[in-house]
Structure 1
Amino acid sequence: MSLEDLLVELEAAKDPEKAGPMEAYMRHQFPFLGIAGPERNALYKKYFPEAKKTRVIDWDFVDTCWAKEPREYQYVAANYLKTMQSYLTENDLPNLERLVVTKSWWDTVDILDRIVGSLVYGKPELEEIILQWSLSDNIWLRRVAIDHQLLRKEKTNVQLMEKVLLNNLDQTEFFINKAIGWALRDYSKTNPEWVASFIEKNRERMAELSIKEASKYL
């Protein structure tokens, strides 16, 4: 079984009746084949374990998926990279950046941010790149910079998180303000005092949405 066989199966499973509602849910940003999450996950379980044995990331496969119009192909590529993330190196970061800024929407970006988080964890030399992303003209790179440490708990690099958050205050962009709220809400489960202090110090620069999300568990 090859990854190309996965794409053949994906195409064969298309369901136009389901495609319409899926496109509407994603605000008609992309066309869909009409293949729901459970069916896609079944294909991942069928093909990805064999692909993982290679220990080599097939970027040609990823690029092929990203170039196709139906959104499910980008889901395949992003979840393939999630499966292979332990084999990513810092040399792959430019490729991940390219995916973040291409055919961007929250659905793929929120998969990629965890992959980026896995790659940069424990690599201080990559922090500067994350800080650059946090100041990017591209909102999706900013979102990844803000949320790439989700679920780190005690392993969160608080100094880096604070710098990234401060770089993104005074925003009107929904997807950035939502990400700020998520990052703070997630970390509040580990260190509520720090989050409460951050909100208090920066309240005037924070969007109401960010404060509401961040305060959920305080």
Structure 2
Amino acid sequence: MTYSVHTYVQEMIGLYTAHTDEKYAQWSKSYLRNQFEFLGIRTPLRRKLTYQFIKENGLPQKEELKDVVFSLWDLPEREYQKAALDILEKSKKVLTSDDMPWLSDLIVKKSWWDTVDTLSAHIMGDLLTTNDKIILSFPDKWIDDENIWLQRSAILYQLYYKGETDEERLFRYIVRRATSDEFFVQKAIGWILREYAKTCPESVLSFVTNHTLKPLSKREALKHFKANIL
């Protein structure tokens, strides 16, 4: 069955609003510092509802994907942005480098760690493995941008690259933002170093030893083997 963008989104709204929980909505709103409204749908149920919806209605056609995602992104309740991310993750095979500009717009729209980390590490992280040109056009520019969420995205897009990590670029980005006073940038630095240490512990230990990092970044980076080096 083929739906228009409007109908597709309205069908999802109808499904979600049938499962609202005001008490959990208030808790969720407080957890994210009162920045967003919530329906109060717990993550396991939300994913179940979304995947059942996709099973019954299909994914948006490629030419409609952007409009569906932005329509969901514009809705006030946070669960709809999460639904948009679920749809994007299921649609990764049809995404190309031409989609990077509008995907990047999502980083700076209704920004918080819960959307930014999925966009950077899971969705754009896959796209950015394809060619160096889009890395030069996006992460290399994000790291110099004043927006902290673009900085965080530049640092985290290689989060799950393991042995495919461009170590030189990663360490260069970290040095660029090592003095940041922003919690979410410091945390991102520590997180990716901790993750990369699972693949190249010697490289991470050498980097941390020879560079000045904020205490939070250093503590997070060395969390798994700190006891062995103090």
- Shorter-normalised TM range: over 0.9
- Segments of 5+ residues of structure 2 without an aligned counterpart are 226-230
Greater Cα offset, 3-12 or 44-53: 44-53
Decide whether aligned partners of structure 1 residues 57 and 110 sit closer, same or farther in structure 2, where only a CA change above 3 A counts: farther
Task: Determine if the alignment matches structure 1 residue 143 to structure 2 residue 152.
Answer: yes
Greater Cα offset, 33-42 or 176-185: 33-42
Contact 1:57 1:84 in 2 (8 A): no
- Name the residue aligned to 2:46: 40
Task: Determine if the alignment matches structure 1 residue 14 to structure 2 residue 23.
Answer: no
Q: State the identity %.
A: 36
Where does 1:57-206 land on structure 2 (aligned, <5 Å)? 58-113=65-120, 114-128=122-136, 129-203=138-212, 206=213
Decide whether aligned partners of structure 1 residues 53 and 71 sit closer, same or farther in structure 2, where only a CA change above 3 A counts: closer
CA RMSD of aligned residues (A): 1.6
CA apart distance, 1:52: 4.0
Distance in 1 separating the partners of 2:53 and 2:187: 34
TM-score, structure 2 as length reference: 0.88
Distance in 1 separating the partners of 2:167 and 2:64: 31
Query: What SS does structure 1 have at the residue aligned with 2:103?
Result: helix
- Segments of 5+ residues of structure 1 without an aligned counterpart are none
CA apart distance, 1:122: 3.1
Distance in 1 separating the partners of 2:128 and 2:194: 21
Decide whether aligned partners of structure 1 residues 215 and 174 sit closer, same or farther in structure 2, where only a CA change above 3 A counts: same
Partner residue of 1:25 out of 28, 31, 55: 31
Letter of the structure 2 residue corresponding to residue 89 of structure 1: T
Counting matched residue pairs gives: 216
Letter of the structure 2 residue corresponding to residue 100 of structure 1: I
Letter of the structure 2 residue corresponding to residue 136 of structure 1: D
CA apart distance, 1:171: 1.0
Give CA-to-partner distance per residue, 1:33-73, whole Å, 9 cap, x none: 11111111111221234534845561111111111111111
Distance in 1 separating the partners of 2:54 and 2:195: 29
Contact 2:143 2:151 in 1 (8 A): yes
Greater Cα offset, 171-180 or 4-13: 4-13
